[in-house]
Amino acid sequence: MKSMINAKQLTHEFFRRDEEGNVEGISVALDHVDLDVAPGAFIAILGHNGSGKSTLAKHINALLTPSEGTLLVDGMDVSDPERTLSIRESAGMVFQNPDNQIIATVVEEDVGFGPENMGIPTDEIWQRVESALKGVGMWKYREHSPNRLSGGQKQRVAIAGVMAMEPKCIILDEPTAMLDPGGRAEVLQVAHELNRKKGITIILITHYMEEVVDADYVYVMEKGHIIMDGTPREIFSRVDDLIAHRLTVPQITLLAHRLKAAGLDIPEGILTREELIKALCP
Amino acid sequence: MSIILDHVTYTYSEKTAYEIKALDDVSLSIKDGEFIGIIGHTGSGKSTLVQHLNGLLRATSGTIYYNGQDIYDKDFNLKNMRTKVGMVFQYPEHQLFETTVFEDVKYGPKNQGLSDKEATNRAYDALADVNFPDEYFDQSPFELSGGQKRRAAIAGVLAMEPEVLILDEPTAGLDPKGQRDILNLIRRMHESSGRTIILVSHSMEDVAEYVDRIIVMDEGRVFLDGAPDYVFSHTDLLEEKGLAVPQVTYLMEELRAKGIPIEGQPTTLEMAEKEILRLHKAGVF
Ligand SMILES: Nc1ncnc2c1ncn2[C@@H]1O[C@H](COP(=O)(O)OP(=O)(O)O)[C@@H](O)[C@H]1O
Ligand SMILES: Nc1ncnc2c1ncn2[C@@H]1O[C@H](COP(=O)(O)OP(=O)(O)O)[C@@H](O)[C@H]1O
Ligand SMILES: [Mg+2]
Ligand SMILES: [Mg+2]
């Protein structure tokens, strides 16, 4: 089957230059990364600050291009400048700070901005705006000013803006880092719905381990490398490894791990409260 | 260093069409040496509240007493108070601006009128307090990692030797290890100096683990105020306000609903572990 995202030996080097333009240093942000994401998958990426997650995300959106290796998005090579626009239509991106992504003064105009730039006819733009805003549960706010919305609502508008471009894949780069628990839950719910109902491939980058539990597959990055990959259960069974790599596991997984160490008969890799309760009271 | 807020109300853009009442009749008393967490959904007034505590914002009505003195009194030295109540803003790295980390940390004490020598000593002490590695003292703050930048920004505030330290979401965007390091650092600061600490956070698990008292804000009002076990016994109310309780607290409630005789209101991983092990020994599990 065709991949949604296929990276082979993907490498990206940033050159640091002094005022005269001489190269002072090179940092290798992605170091020969291989990765393959099937269409319709829900993928999570974990990794310490500076491990290369955003650099990878920006390649998928053709905001950056490889120094070495290849990256195909929906079969298109991100190194081919003629494909840049099609790639951006295929793979939309949502960033951490909702305040920096919303441009218009009215919610529906903001959501219509992307398709308008793509040259979509006006009638269709409005259809897409309606369906996108309904999709994220923000239709009733269509005439509101974005800066009066909560953080979670702003992120949902940002996601609607990406949806209106009808991408096959959405990359969410720490979309919940600035949100309260309610806002985090809203964003996660919308991402899962888009994945389930519309088959949109989701790539979620996050530092909240709880948000990863329902992903299909998890990649863990360190210093530009992918150092672990597997299902959430496989990854979160490796409690000590994750902690050694600046990460952690969901609070429930850690509790289960400690109870097991204290002698209770509990399997490794418990992910949810339901699973722990079942293990405790069979 | 007690702080008392007496019926404080604050309105942004007063008397315009955009008027927003961000604080609505808030009365609070903060005692010397407390470690307080402030939670609340986005827009509930947390940042507005903490900016009143160091006089950056001035109440539209009501007043604030710092060690018994009305801070809006014309004889009160507000500038002096701002150095006693240190504030680490959200994304503090945006406030780093000097050419080197060391100069950046020295800036505060110099601004307080200390001599260059005294400011240098303060900067050394503050950077040591936050475990900032010596070899980066002369680096540009912009070249540091996320966690190091936060440390440098916190050192910049500590160098002014504040009696009260306010941190507005200091761990947002950091990786789990970076978050833990910053929180442990804050805890140490509280334990070693007895400083009053006020921590604004979106992580229910973190406030449960670190603070002694939680203030819950909602629509500019104090909605709940008490110890973590008290605040986190209000699951439904907190969820209505866009908040939650720690994962382990949900777990213990669900076990209790199944008839397991859980004692107390465990809010941290350690407390939940202890309670389950106790029940295990008693033969319940
Ligand atoms: N524009 C840039 N110029 C130079 N170095 C950069 C740039 N963006 C990122 N880097 C470096 O690349 C590495 C990976 O960064 P990034 O992809 O942002 O990590 P993450 O998103 O995992 O925190 C880091 O060492 C970072 O300092
Ligand atoms: N500079 C400002 N001008 C106008 N309104 C503001 C400003 N800062 C905050 N507000 C509004 O005041 C309310 C409380 O905001 P804030 O104190 O920042 O909340 P929190 O920190 O809990 O997210 C919100 O409705 C917010 O939109
Ligand atoms: Mg990043
Ligand atoms: Mg705030």
Distance (Å) from the C-alpha of residue B146 to the closest C-alpha of chain A? 7
What's B128's DSSP letter? Answer: H
In a domain, A201, yes or no: yes
pLDDT given at position A144: 92
Q: Which residue of chain B comes nearest to A96, CA vs CA?
A: B173
**Nearest bound ligand to the CA of residue B223:** 2
Q: Is B148 on the interface with A (CB under 8 A)?
A: no
Q: Is B243 on the interface with A (CB under 8 A)?
A: yes
What's A147's DSSP letter? Answer: G
Question: What residues of B are in contact with residue A148 (Cβ under 8 Å)?
Answer: none
Strand B61-66 to A217-222 pairing = unpaired
Structure confidence at residue B50 as a pLDDT band (50, 70, 90): very high
How are strands ordered across the β-sheet holding A217-222?
A91-94, A169-173, A201-205, A42-47, A217-222, A225-230
How many whole angstroms separate alpha carbon B122 and alpha carbon A86? 55
How are strands ordered across the β-sheet holding B164-168?
B85-88, B164-168, B196-200, B35-39, B213-218, B221-226
Question: Lowest-pLDDT range, A267-271, A277-281, B81-85, B121-125?
Answer: B81-85
Match 């291989």 to its residue by tokens. Answer: A34
Statement: residue A126 has pLDDT above 80: yes
In a domain, A104, yes or no: yes
CB A266 within 8 A of CB A260: yes
pLDDT given at position A43: 98
Q: Which residue of chain A comes nearest to B146, CA vs CA?
A: A49
Q: Provide the domain count of chain A.
A: 1
pLDDT given at position A1: 67
In a domain, A227, yes or no: yes
Q: A223 alpha carbon to ligand 1 midpoint, in Å?
A: 10
Cβ within 8 Å, pair B145-A50: yes
Q: What is the mean pLDDT of chain B?
A: 93
CB B33 within 8 A of CB B194: yes
Q: Which atom of ligand 2 is nearest to the CA of B44?
A: 22
**A205, A207, A212: best mutation site toward chain B, by most B Cβ within 10 Å?**
A207
Nearest to A149 by CA among B237, B242, B174, B94: B242
**A189, A205, A236, A251: best mutation site toward chain B, by most B Cβ within 10 Å?**
A251
Cβ within 8 Å, pair A247-B177: yes
Mean pLDDT of B13-25: 90
**Domain residue spans in chain B?**
30-57+76-243, 246-285
Residues in contact with ligand 2 (CB, 6 Å cut-off):
B 12-13, 20, 22, 40, 42-48
Distance (Å) from the C-alpha of residue B73 to the closest C-alpha of chain A? 34
- Residue with the smallest CA separation from ligand 1 atom 7 is A14
Question: What residues of A are in contact with residue B277 (Cβ under 8 Å)?
Answer: 259, 262, 264
Query: Inter-axis angle of helices A273-280 and B247-257, to 10 degrees?
Result: 40
The CATH H-level (homologous superfamily) assignment of domain B30-57+76-243 is P-loop containing nucleotide triphosphate hydrolases (3.40.50.300)
pLDDT given at position A178: 82
pLDDT given at position B80: 86
Nearest to A146 by CA among A111, A116, A174, A181: A111
B243 vs A151, A180, A246: nearest CB: A180
Tokens of A107: 């919610």
How many whole angstroms separate alpha carbon A207 and alpha carbon A177? 8
- Residue with the smallest CA separation from ligand 2 atom 5 is B12
Match 């994304």 to its residue by tokens. Answer: B91
Match 């080197």 to its residue by tokens. Answer: B100
Q: A29 alpha carbon to ligand 1 midpoint, in Å?
A: 6
pLDDT given at position A20: 83
In a domain, A277, yes or no: no
Tokens of B238: 């907190």
Q: A148 alpha carbon to ligand 2 midpoint, in Å?
A: 10
Distance (Å) from the C-alpha of residue B140 to the closest C-alpha of chain A? 13
Mean pLDDT of B39-47: 92
Mean pLDDT of A168-185: 91
Statement: residue A202 has pLDDT above 70: yes
Statement: residue B41 has pLDDT above 70: yes
A181 vs B244, B260, B276: nearest CB: B244
Nearest to B258 by CA among A257, A274, A210: A274
Q: A28 alpha carbon to ligand 4 midpoint, in Å?
A: 35
pLDDT given at position B1: 67
Beta partners for residue B218, in sequence order: B221
Nearest to A188 by CA among A209, A167, A204, A200: A204
CB neighbour burial string for B93-123, b if at least 16 within 10 angstroms, e if fewer: beebeeeebbbbbbbbbbebebeeeebbebb
State the residue range of the domain holding A87: 40-65+73-232
Nearest to A139 by CA among A190, A201, A178: A190
Nearest to A44 by CA among A243, A246, A236: A236
Q: Indicate whether this model's pTM tops 0.90.
A: yes
Contact residues, A window 143-202, toward B, CB-based 8 Å cutoff: 150-152, 174, 177-183, 185
Can you state the percent helix, strand and coil of chain A, rounding each to 5? Answer: 40, 25, 35
pLDDT given at position A267: 92
Statement: residue A117 has pLDDT above 80: yes
In a domain, A223, yes or no: yes
Q: In this predicted model, which residue has the larger pLDDT, A33 or A131?
A: A33
Q: Which residue of chain B comes nearest to A246, CA vs CA?
A: B177
Contact residues, A window 49-108, toward B, CB-based 8 Å cutoff: 49-50, 96
Identify the three-state secondary structure at position B225: strand
Contact residues, B window 164-203, toward A, CB-based 8 Å cutoff: 169, 172-180, 202
In a domain, A55, yes or no: yes
Q: B264 alpha carbon to ligand 3 midpoint, in Å?
A: 40
Nearest to A168 by CA among A78, A91, A59: A91
How many whole angstroms separate alpha carbon A90 and alpha carbon A219? 22
Distance (Å) from the C-alpha of residue B68 to the closest C-alpha of chain A? 34
CATH of the domain at A222: 3.40.50.300
Q: What is the mean pLDDT of chain A?
A: 93
CB neighbour burial string for A196-220, b if at least 16 within 10 angstroms, e if fewer: eeeebbbbbbbbbbbbbbbbebbbb
pLDDT given at position A3: 95
Cβ within 8 Å, pair B276-A210: no
Mean pLDDT of B165-189: 92
CB A180 within 8 A of CB B243: yes
Cβ within 8 Å, pair B172-A177: yes
Q: What is the pLDDT of residues B237-252, one digit of tens each?
A: 999 999 999 999 999 9
In a domain, A246, yes or no: no
**Nearest bound ligand to the CA of residue B57:** 2
In a domain, A60, yes or no: yes
- Region of B161 (left: φ > 0; alpha: ψ -120 to 50; beta: rest) is left
